[in-house]
Amino acid sequence: MTVKMLPRKRNIIFALLVLVPFSEQYSSGAPPGACEDQLPRHESIVPQSSAPPYLILTSSAQVRQGDTLNVTIGSPAGAPVPIGGFLLQAREIQNPDAIVGKFVSVPATETHVTTCAKPNDTVTHSSPADKGALSFRWQAPTDFLGGVEFRATVAQSYATFWKGVESPLVEVVTPNTEITTQMAQSTSTTTARAPPVIMENKPKLTTQKLDEIYQGCADTKLCFGVPQNCIEKGDCKAIVAVFVAGDVYTFEVQGTGNPKYVAAALSLDTKMGDDSAMECVRNNNGIINLYTSWTYPKVEPYVNRSDSPQDIVQLLQSSTIDGKLYCKFTRDAVSTVKGIKFDLMNKKYNLMIVSGDGMKDPERVGFHTIAYESSGEPLALSSVGTAAGASKLLLKLHGCFMVAAWLGASSLGIILARYYRQTWVGRQLGGKDIWFAYHRIFMMTTWLLTMAGFVLILIEARGWSDTGDNPHAITGIITVVLCFLQPIGAFFRPHPGTNKRIYFNWTHWLAGNTAHILGIVTIFFAVYLQKAELPAWTTFVLAAFVAFHVVMHLVLTLTACVSDGSIGSARVNAFPMKDMLGGTRPTQIDRTGDAPYSGFRRLLLGIYGPVVLLFALAVVCLVALAPITETYNNIMGA
């Protein structure tokens, strides 16, 4: 987990708690005068309202006058958040403005003591570098009795800090008071230890609260996230929220999964292209920047920052905690980008939210590998509630058709042509041998489903769809082309025994098997497409299908070899392409009856057919009901 900062004109990344009459950054700690209200003068930035990700614990609940105790500041062990800067003091309970005691031992390289009311009564950071849990030795005053608490302001970044981080009550008692609680005495052994791990069970952190971006989505914000129904549970892969106060439009974006960027866009439709985007980007140094850009439909450079004015947005806050990249910013109510006027007050826009784990170059975000979604209809940004996503009907139909074609129909059609030419001899369907009739039915079904699926995805994507580094689109288009040509070649096939038959045999065999293999490989690639929303374990289902398919081919091949051996050198079963070299077929083969072991082959087909159809049906269900976990929970009422 890392903490990211706002960019500044200088390389001073972290500033802590400055209380001077003007705004300035102190990378080496707060000055002696920055003491009264523990507030940094970070321009107009205010403290966070959420529960702080930091705790202060002491080694004892009581301390005698003049004695010392350990004070540790850090984050819960289960969610470590580094400290960038801080200011820590002990204050009286009855008089919170009074600073008491002094610090007598602090980590020398990362912190130092300073003076506010009395010498060494305050400790602060020495550098802006990220720091883990820190332990200090504090000495109680000799002229005070009563309750004290340790109070701090802790900065995670320039724009993100929490005020009022407090310890439990510590009571300063008289020197002769018997203290039953174990105290940490000032010894060389103690000071040499690593800072103690702060407990995770601090009462105020036990309640799991939604991230700040989700708060108000039901009544004060317009929110849109992916996947569907993620906002209520607070587990969106990416989310955008819009809060409107008068003519001030405040946007928030957040992406999970340690993204390199998360971006929102205003669009006139549900497709990416000709949109005004706002990018929250984490660079290689961990600094978070905000940019605007213009998107282009299916042409390089796809996203271009130089075509969009950068001064129409103003970054207010940014952070990255537990792999969540977050930005909060305002956007001008009226702006012009690429000659298009974006009037947030009077026009409706589709909201888009995307995130990805890489950059094409320092000036361009990479492909949206983590999340991509568009709202289903234009929205007034001043409205409140949760927006619904665009329909994925065409996308899901495309997936279902392709799975049914290449896992189901083509697998059955190929196995019939390969191993069952000398089975059901003398029986016909539509004037054709049984094996050929069903082969043609299955392959035409494959052709129709493939062409329909191809047309559907063209309509959905409005042309060629960029799938980033995933070769799904490339292998898919090759499969479609081969599939389209197969029945055309079959229609014009030369008669058996002619000189040109050899060319048809090789071409038909090679194209058909290549298309089948590529079709299945393309389905594997689809599992990793963000749009598909398929669970990762879909690959295991597909791998099981491939294993079963290969095993059945091996068994049928061995059966054909045994069958061929039982009738001498004349082969009639092993492969339908045994006539690859053309010429006249052997005349000594008895083709009036089924080949040996035809009954066993029919049994294998009785096993292969239903199992293949079950595999195809299972994957079709995963595609149609994606995301399957969310759909299951909705059905079960979870």
614: its two tokens: 């079950």
What is the Cα gyration radius of the chain?
35
Mean pLDDT of 37-61: 79
**Pairing mode of beta strands 222-226, 385-386:** parallel
| Residues 531-557: tens digit of each pLDDT | 888 888 999 999 999 999 999 999 999
191: nearest Cα among 138, 230, 235, 123: 138
Three-state DSSP state, 557: helix
The pLDDT assigned to 403 comes to: 97
Mean pLDDT of 187-202: 39
| Residues 441-452: tens digit of each pLDDT | 999 999 999 999
Confidence check: pLDDT of 17 > 50: no
Three-state DSSP state, 518: helix
Q: How far apart are CA 527 and CA 522, in angstroms?
A: 9
Give the residue, 461 or 450, on which the prediction is more confident: 450
**Pairing mode of beta strands 102-105, 160-166:** unpaired
The pLDDT assigned to 443 comes to: 94
**Average per-residue pLDDT for the chain:** 82
Three-state DSSP state, 59: coil
CA distances from 315 to 49, 211, 310 (A): 18, 19, 11
pLDDT band at 523, cuts 50/70/90? Answer: very high
pLDDT band at 591, cuts 50/70/90? Answer: low
CA angle, residues 12, 18, 19, in degrees to nearest 5: 160
Comparing 539-548, 568-577, 594-603, the range with the smallest average pLDDT is: 568-577
CA angle, residues 84, 283, 214, in degrees to nearest 5: 70
pTM here?
0.56
CA distances from 257 to 235, 287, 375, 428 (A): 11, 17, 22, 58
pLDDT band at 341, cuts 50/70/90? Answer: very high
The pLDDT assigned to 5 comes to: 40
Determine how many CB atoms are found less than 10 A away from the CB of residue 397. 17
The pLDDT assigned to 564 comes to: 66
Query: What's the 3-state SS for 146-192?
Result: EEEEEEEEEEEECCEEEEEEECCCEEEECCCCCCCCCCCCCCHHHHH
| Residues 363-381: tens digit of each pLDDT | 889 888 888 899 989 999 9
The pLDDT assigned to 389 comes to: 84
Comparing 64-73, 119-128, 510-519, the range with the smallest average pLDDT is: 119-128
Q: Is 481 left (phi over 0), alpha (psi -120 to 50) or beta?
A: alpha
Q: How far apart are CA 186 and CA 195, in angstroms?
A: 14
Contact indicator for 124, 29 with CB cutoff of 8 Å: yes
CA distances from 557 to 432, 510, 577 (A): 24, 18, 13
The pLDDT assigned to 254 comes to: 96
CA distances from 408 to 3, 528, 613, 631 (A): 50, 21, 6, 24
The pLDDT assigned to 205 comes to: 41
Burial class (CB in 10 A: 0-12, 13-18, 19+), 107: middle
581: its two tokens: 């070299």
The pLDDT assigned to 196 comes to: 44
Q: How far apart are CA 619 and CA 399, in angstroms?
A: 9
Contact indicator for 423, 598 with CB cutoff of 8 Å: yes
Mean pLDDT of 237-263: 94
The pLDDT assigned to 29 comes to: 65
The pLDDT assigned to 580 comes to: 52
pLDDT band at 200, cuts 50/70/90? Answer: very low
CA angle, residues 190, 194, 197, in degrees to nearest 5: 110
Q: How far apart are CA 452 and CA 397, in angstroms?
A: 9
Burial class (CB in 10 A: 0-12, 13-18, 19+), 31: middle
493: its two tokens: 């096939």
**What ranges make up the beta strands (E) of 334-389?**
334-337, 340-343, 350-356, 359-361, 364-365, 371-374, 385-386
| Residues 205-249: tens digit of each pLDDT | 444 578 889 988 988 899 999 988 899 889 899 999 999 988 899
479: its two tokens: 């499969």
The pLDDT assigned to 355 comes to: 94
Contact indicator for 146, 162 with CB cutoff of 8 Å: no
How much of the chain, in percent, has pLDDT values that exceed 70?
81
Determine how many CB atoms are found less than 10 A away from the CB of residue 273. 16
Contact indicator for 154, 73 with CB cutoff of 8 Å: yes
The pLDDT assigned to 298 comes to: 65
